[in-house]
A = this chain, B = another copy of it.
Amino acid sequence: MVFLALASAAVVVAAYAYAQASTPVSQGQPISGNYSGPLRPQIHFSPPTEFMNDPNGMFLDADGVYHLYYQYNPTDIVAGNQHWGHATSNDLFHWTNQQIAIYPPTNDSQLFSGSAVVDVNNTSGFFPNQTNGVVAIYTLNTATAQVQEIAYSSDGGYTFQRYAGNPVIDVNSTQFRDPKVIWHEETGKWAMVVAHSQDFVIEIYTSPDLKEWSHGSNFSHYGLLGSQYECPNMLALPVVRADGTSETMYLLAISINPGAPLGGSITQYFPGTFNGTHFTPADGATRLTDFGKDNYAGQFFSGVPASQKQIAIGWASNWQYAQTVPTGPLEGWRSAMTLPKISSLRDAGAAGIELVQELPDLSPIYESQLVQNRSTDNLTLAIDYSSVSSGTIYLDINVTNINMAAVSGTLNFTITSSSTNESLSAGYLLSSGDFWIDRGDVEGFKNLFFTDRFFTVYAVQNGAWRLQAVVDRSLLEVAIDSGRQAATTSFYPQVGGKMDGLLVAADGLGQAEVSVGVWGLQSGWAAEASQDGLVYGNVTSSS
């Protein structure tokens, strides 16, 4: 959760500081929303109305339901009156909006970011007769302090009660936030990472019961500092070796805002070890989760075994422009989450341990296959996907049999609009390894901070290269070589500028073969909509 003492635009500071709750938000039912707008992502989560930012409290319950909470201002299309919104999903593509899960206790306080855990063993004592009790750990923000509080849910995470003994941590600071808690099996304790934002310190606390917290250690001044540290995340995840074996290793992620090299918000990560109180990075390197500008404050679902690939979701925006994007005035909502990123570590040799962020398996939501093409040396495809009702497509390009002694050629794709001259493009120069994304020719949003081009370098390895992309109305997700590099990029076609064409061009690949598959995807939201077009979410008959 960002706190905008050093926010990225003057207008933001004003909005965030003063847009406090004046009218209480009605409780007991989800807020309904219209998910049919031309800028609404159809397989990404976005809030029913108004303003969303960081993912919060993400956990997977024992019934296989993913719970996503989020920083939510239900009363404005800018940040301000922060609640914990809530949605659930069985497959991470179809989301059901739930009622707001946690409300700020007073009109002059805000509920900032945090995490949630299932207290299976009732360490907290809140859940004497159940194994599915949920404890949320979050920051309560007031004009004078940021303190860590907890709230507990006996109904599996749908409604919460604030703990009477709050706050559970108060260090007399106004810049102390975003607790993320995990269970550390070896020491039999909970461990929390929480940011002393403007001191560039991630403090680690431990607790037997989620109520009493003890200082473990400080991890400070690592990586890019920006102006503030935010939203630390720490967890164990598998390191997949070249021989297919895997062990687990820890990863600590720290988001910074403002002050990212590209401007605004960004997330960096550090692989390492954790002994219950101290995190030790494997090296001094600074690695970024995304080479674009729209993936901040990512969090991992609690409850996925460490031996399995972990699942992260980030906020697909940037504080430099999140509160000025056109979805607000045009469609009454702002910000979406990234797709779930299926996350593991890999041993990248001399480059050290790197995060791999795969796109999820999209085959369960294929609506239609638009293209399956295979060619050698070069290829040009022009695809009209205006018939795909969701407007959302998935592109999977595999280049194989590359001559590693003379890597050559280019591979590009462009998303076009049949009604305007707009285009969104990306491309790869195989010989140099340069990959680029360009959103500068999408015309619906012009803003000083909404920069257009993003780059990474990724050399062809082992004679093959893969590019996957999802285009979802106003979001582009790119994964290079099954997630070894990844970017989420927002873009905003002008009114009437629906993107409905795809060009794929490969050239000069020599002996290499290129195969292209394109699928139309089912909307995750259309299925949820009522006859009047609104998504009402999980409305209960009792209220």
Q: Does A352 contact B (CB under 8 A)?
A: yes
Q: Does A142 contact B (CB under 8 A)?
A: no
Q: Does A285 contact B (CB under 8 A)?
A: yes
CA of A281 to CA of B200 in the docked complex: distance in angstroms?
Answer: 16
Asked if A200 and B434 sit within 8 Å, CB to CB, the answer is: no
Give chain B residues whose Cβ lies under 8 Å from the Cβ of A222.
283-285
Asked if B221 and A285 sit within 8 Å, CB to CB, the answer is: yes
**What per-residue 1/0 map shows which CB atoms of A432-464 lie under 8 Å from chain B?**
111010100000000011011111110100000
Give chain A interface residues in 242-271, CB to chain B under 8 Å: 258-264, 266
Asked if A451 and B449 sit within 8 Å, CB to CB, the answer is: no
CA of A291 to CA of B263 in the docked complex: distance in angstroms?
Answer: 9
Q: Does A379 contact B (CB under 8 A)?
A: no
Q: A455's contact among B7, B198, B263, B454, by CB below 8 Å, is which? A: B263
Asked if A286 and B226 sit within 8 Å, CB to CB, the answer is: no
Q: Does A187 contact B (CB under 8 A)?
A: no
Q: Does A351 contact B (CB under 8 A)?
A: yes
Give chain B residues whose Cβ lies under 8 Å from the Cβ of A13.
431-432
Q: A457's contact among B226, B283, B284, B287, by CB below 8 Å, is which? A: B226
A284-B222, A448-B453, A456-B259 given as contacts; is B198 within 8 A of A350 (CB)? yes
Q: Does A82 contact B (CB under 8 A)?
A: no
Give chain A interface residues in 190-204, CB to chain B under 8 Å: 198-200
Q: A350's contact among B199, B351, B453, B455, by CB below 8 Å, is which? A: B199
Q: Does A12 contact B (CB under 8 A)?
A: yes
Distance to closest chain B CB from A354 (angstroms)? 10
A12-B432, A350-B200, A436-B448 given as contacts; is B6 within 8 A of A457 (CB)? yes
Q: Does A164 contact B (CB under 8 A)?
A: no
Asked if A261 and B288 sit within 8 Å, CB to CB, the answer is: yes
What residue of chain B has the Cβ atom nearest to residue A201's Cβ?
B350
A223-B286, A261-B288, A262-B262 given as contacts; is B457 within 8 A of A448 (CB)? no
**What per-residue 1/0 map shows which CB atoms of A1-19 lie under 8 Å from chain B?**
0000011111011000000
CA of A436 to CA of B288 in the docked complex: distance in angstroms?
Answer: 22
Asked if A8 and B227 sit within 8 Å, CB to CB, the answer is: no
Asked if B456 and A448 sit within 8 Å, CB to CB, the answer is: no
Q: Does A31 contact B (CB under 8 A)?
A: no
Q: A6's contact among B227, B287, B432, by CB below 8 Å, is which? A: B432
Give chain A interface residues in 339-356, CB to chain B under 8 Å: 350-352
Give chain B residues whose Cβ lies under 8 Å from the Cβ of A87.
none
Q: Does A512 contact B (CB under 8 A)?
A: no
Give chain B residues whose Cβ lies under 8 Å from the Cβ of A198.
350
CA of A9 to CA of B431 in the docked complex: distance in angstroms?
Answer: 8
Q: A284's contact among B261, B281, B432, by CB below 8 Å, is which? A: B281
Asked if B261 and A9 sit within 8 Å, CB to CB, the answer is: no
Give chain B residues whose Cβ lies under 8 Å from the Cβ of A259.
456-457
**What per-residue 1/0 map shows which CB atoms of A476-503 lie under 8 Å from chain B?**
0000000000000000000000000000
CA of A281 to CA of B221 in the docked complex: distance in angstroms?
Answer: 11
| Most chain B CB neighbours (cut-off 10 Å) among A226, A258, A286, A291 | A286
Distance to closest chain B CB from A267 (angstroms)? 12
Size class of the contact patch on chain A:
35 or more
A225-B285, A227-B459, A286-B286 given as contacts; is B351 within 8 A of A432 (CB)? no
Distance to closest chain B CB from A211 (angstroms)? 30
Give chain B residues whose Cβ lies under 8 Å from the Cβ of A223.
284-286
Asked if B9 and A455 sit within 8 Å, CB to CB, the answer is: no
Q: Does A429 contact B (CB under 8 A)?
A: yes
**What per-residue 1/0 map shows which CB atoms of A215-253 lie under 8 Å from chain B?**
000001111111100000000000000000000000000
CA of A34 to CA of B44 in the docked complex: distance in angstroms?
Answer: 58
CA of A149 to CA of B266 in the docked complex: distance in angstroms?
Answer: 42
Give chain B residues whose Cβ lies under 8 Å from the Cβ of A224.
285-286
A12-B432, A261-B262 given as contacts; is B200 within 8 A of A351 (CB)? yes
Q: A10's contact among B351, B432, B457, by CB below 8 Å, is which? A: B432
Asked if B264 and A8 sit within 8 Å, CB to CB, the answer is: no
Give chain B residues whose Cβ lies under 8 Å from the Cβ of A457.
6, 8, 226-227, 258-259
Distance to closest chain B CB from A264 (angstroms)? 7
Asked if B438 and A448 sit within 8 Å, CB to CB, the answer is: yes
What residue of chain B has the Cβ atom nearest to residue A451's Cβ?
B453
A264-B455, A455-B263 given as contacts; is B10 within 8 A of A283 (CB)? no
**What per-residue 1/0 map shows which CB atoms of A157-179 lie under 8 Å from chain B?**
00000000000000000000000
- 21 examples of A-B residue contacts, CB within 8 angstroms: A6-B432, A8-B432, A9-B429, A10-B408, A13-B432, A200-B285, A200-B352, A220-B283, A221-B352, A223-B284, A223-B285, A225-B285, A225-B287, A261-B266, A263-B436, A286-B286, A434-B449, A448-B453, A451-B451, A451-B453, A452-B452
Q: Which 10 A-B pairs have the closest CB atoms?
A: A263-B455, A221-B283, A222-B284, A261-B261, A286-B286, A10-B431, A258-B457, A259-B457, A221-B285, A199-B350
- Given A222-B285, A262-B455, A434-B449, 5 more contacts at CB 8 Å? A6-B459, A227-B433, A263-B453, A264-B455, A436-B448
